[in-house]
Structure 1
Amino acid sequence: MVQFEGRFQHERSENFDEFLKAIGVPLIPRKMVVASNPVVEVRRDGDTWTIRMNTLVRTVEYVFEPGQTVETETMGGMAQNVFTIEDDKIMQTQKSDTYTTEVIRQFTEDSLIMTITHVESGIICHRYFRRL
């Protein structure tokens, strides 16, 4: 099994600005987020996982146990998140009052690839990170 835990540095994104538009992120914060190169940190303590991403605008942190619903604050308000783990992937479904996203975080020995889908519009973006 691939090691999930570690730190990952953002290298590039595809279609990220279009995705952020679809979920309603205003222009100035959107441009700041798109221009940032965040670090993602994945940790595990027993059954509890933590995924933290530091961006220019804010730090996003998810603390979860697979299959349980956790509430988080998004740029557009509160959202319900459910995470599952399968093979080399951590999958997340996030539902807010205004949108639903599906995130697949696929891990390899030296990278993390995030595939993010805005369910309502079908817009898909990819974000690529290298393991530090």
Structure 2
Amino acid sequence: MVKFEGKYEHVKSENFDEFLKSIGVPLIPRKMVTSSNPVVEVSKEGDVWVIRMSTLIRTIEYKFTPGEPIQTETMGGMAQNVFTFEDNVIKHTQKSDTYTTEVLREFSDDSLVMTLKHVESGTTCHRYFKRA
């Protein structure tokens, strides 16, 4: 099994701006987010996993136990999140009052590929990261 823990640096994104539009992110914040190069850090503290995505603009952090719902704040309000593991993938479903997203974080020995899907529209994007 692939090791999830580690730091990952952004390499490129495909269709990310369209994905952000589909979930309702306004133009100026969308342009700021799409021009940034985030760093993703995955760690484990006992039974609790932590996924932290840091940019110059903001840091998003999820602390979770697989299968247990957690609440987080989004640009549009609060959302419920559930994380599960399957082979070398962390599956993440996020439901807010206005949209649902499904995120697959697929890990290999040297990379992380994130596939983000806006469920209501079917808009999908990919974000690619290399292990630092």
Normalising by the smaller structure, the TM-score range is over 0.9
The separation in 2 between residues aligned to 1:114 and 1:20, in whole angstroms, is 14
Secondary structure of the 1:32 match is helix
Deviation, 1:76, is 1.2
Fraction of identical pairs, as percent: 70
Cross-structure match for 1:94: 94
The residue that corresponds to 1:14 in the other structure is 14
Q: Secondary structure at the match of 1:4?
A: coil
Letter in 1 for 2:105: R
Distance 2:75 2:55 in 1: 13
How far apart are 1:75 and its partner, in Å? 1.2
* Deviations 1:41-86 (CA, angstroms, capped at 9, x unpaired): 0001221000000123211000000000000011111100000011
* Corresponding residue pairs, total: 132
Deviation at 1:125, TM superposition (A): 0.2
* CA root-mean-square deviation: 0.6
Indicate conservation of the 8 Å contact 1:29/1:57, yes or no: no
TM-score, normalised by the number of residues in structure 2: 0.98
Q: Distance in 2 between matches of 1:31 and 1:129?
A: 20
Gaps of 5+ in 1: none
Alpha-carbon distance between aligned partners in 2 of 1:61 and 1:23, rounded to the nearest angstrom = 19
- Residue aligning to 2:59: 59
| Superposed structure 1 runs of 4+ greater than 6 Å apart | none
* Alignment of structure 1 residues 1-132 onto 2, 5 Å: 1-132=1-132
TM-score by length of 1: 0.98
